[in-house]
Amino acid sequence: MQQRRLGDSGLLVSAVGLGCNNFGGRIDVEATRRVVHRAVDLGITLFDTADIYGNKGGSEAAMGEVMGPLRKRIVLATKYAKPMDDEGRARGASRRYIVEAVEASLRRLRTDWIDLYQQHEPDPGTPIEETMRALDDLVSSGKVRYVGCSNLPAWQVVEARWTSRMGGYVPFVSAQDEYSLLARGIEAELLPALGRSGMGLLPYFPLACGMLTGKYRRNAAMPEGARLTNTQRLADIYVTEANWTIVERLEAFCAARGRSMLELAFSWLLANPLVSSVIAGATRPEQLEQNVAAAGWAIGAEDLAEIDRLARKG
């Protein structure tokens, strides 16, 4: 497994990461154990969870139960800021809440430190200086090693980096955002901002919720039990005429080269030097094996240009 630097930091992460959003929810502890152990065997080091995953705490608790001696081989990433209660008190990026949230995550994860602590969403009610100072204190205390962000607009990412530089605080080293051949909105502003700031990108939903796996077909019955079959909200976003057109173009491109859509989805992302690790979830060890194998296609410059043309909407 290739190891990449997370932005301009000294932290190394596996080119393929494991999204842990299924733990404590879609799969139980024993299934989680099988997935985690197989991931480590395959060379995956980046495990990405969040306090809210698994019905508010379930994913972190499952990870804490199954890691054991594997903890030192894992780059453990989690997140804070999304609401963890129904009253709206346990959320955000204030100093008060960050201190509370990190302690709760450490307890559930059964660990003394978090390798990458990420702000999961913007908090318009808290000054960014308060957030960065609080995170700097967590790093100084040893409870957190590096900090990152997720789902922040480009201007807030730049503001956070500038605030850290001016105040002497630890900066965000990464941004975790949706990015795939079917979701390219971050290319306009966020990707250039990350490049100028020296931050790494951790793309999530690299398979566009399954549209880039090849298992869905236009005008055919949706596969039973699949995410886009069971979740209408996601189907409304991804199952569109524009996306069908792009998928069919890309399928023809892959077929002509003897490659799979899975290989294309992972290897296209990893061809971008800003991408540090591609985060994909899994409920079975076999999915991990497929994801790792898919990341090995070194796509040439001419093919990248053709892929870009085929994946443009309109």
Q: Nearest-CA neighbor of 117 among 63, 159, 79?
A: 79
Q: Report if residue 246 sits inside a domain.
A: no
For the chain, how many structural domains are there in total? 1
* Residue 282 to residue 21: CA distance in whole angstroms: 9
Contacts of 193 (CB under 8 A, 6+ apart): 154, 155, 157, 158, 199
- The pLDDT, as a whole number, for residue 214 is 79
Contacts by 101-108, CB closer than 8 A, 24 or more apart: 101/51, 102/138, 102/143, 102/144, 104/51, 104/57, 105/51, 105/60, 105/78, 105/80, 106/143, 108/51, 108/57, 108/60, 108/61, 108/63, 108/64
Backbone angles phi, psi at 240, to 5 degrees: -125, 160
Task: Answer yes or no: pTM beyond 0.85.
Answer: yes
Count of Cβ atoms closer than 10 Å to residue 157 Cβ:
20
In sequence order, the β-bridge partners of residue 12 are 5
- The pLDDT, as a whole number, for residue 216 is 78
- The pLDDT, as a whole number, for residue 118 is 98
Terminal C-alpha separation, the chain: 37
Find the helix packing angle between 128-141 and 154-167, rounded to 10°.
Answer: 60
**Burial class (CB within 10 angstroms; exposed 0-12, middle 13-18, buried 19+) of 227:** middle
Q: Report if residue 49 sits inside a domain.
A: yes
In sequence order, the β-bridge partners of residue 280 are 18
- The pLDDT, as a whole number, for residue 98 is 98
In sequence order, the β-bridge partners of residue 204 are 178
- The pLDDT, as a whole number, for residue 153 is 97
Q: How far is CA 268 from CA 42, 163, 176, 211, in A?
A: 21, 33, 17, 15
**In 210-275, which residue ranges form alpha helices assigned H by DSSP?**
227-230, 232-238, 241-257, 261-270
> Which residues are known catalytic residues?
53
Q: Report if residue 64 sits inside a domain.
A: yes
Q: Report if residue 91 sits inside a domain.
A: yes
Q: Report if residue 222 sits inside a domain.
A: no
* Extended beta strands in 69-171, E state: 75-80, 114-119, 144-150
* CB 203, CB 172: distance < 8 Å: no
Q: Report if residue 242 sits inside a domain.
A: no
Q: Nearest-CA neighbor of 131 among 142, 305, 120, 225?
A: 120
* Residue 226 to residue 64: CA distance in whole angstroms: 28
* Residue 19 to residue 279: CA distance in whole angstroms: 5
- The pLDDT, as a whole number, for residue 169 is 98
Q: Report if residue 237 sits inside a domain.
A: no
* Domain hosting residue 82, numbered range: 3-208+262-298
* CB 183, CB 210: distance < 8 Å: no
Q: What is the CATH number of the domain that holds 111?
A: 3.20.20.100
* Residue 25 to residue 41: CA distance in whole angstroms: 23
Contacts of 272 (CB under 8 A, 6+ apart): 201
Enumerate residue ranges in the chain where pLDDT < 70.
Answer: 225-226, 228-230, 314
- The pLDDT, as a whole number, for residue 223 is 74
- The pLDDT, as a whole number, for residue 86 is 85
Q: Report if residue 236 sits inside a domain.
A: no
* Residue 253 to residue 276: CA distance in whole angstroms: 26
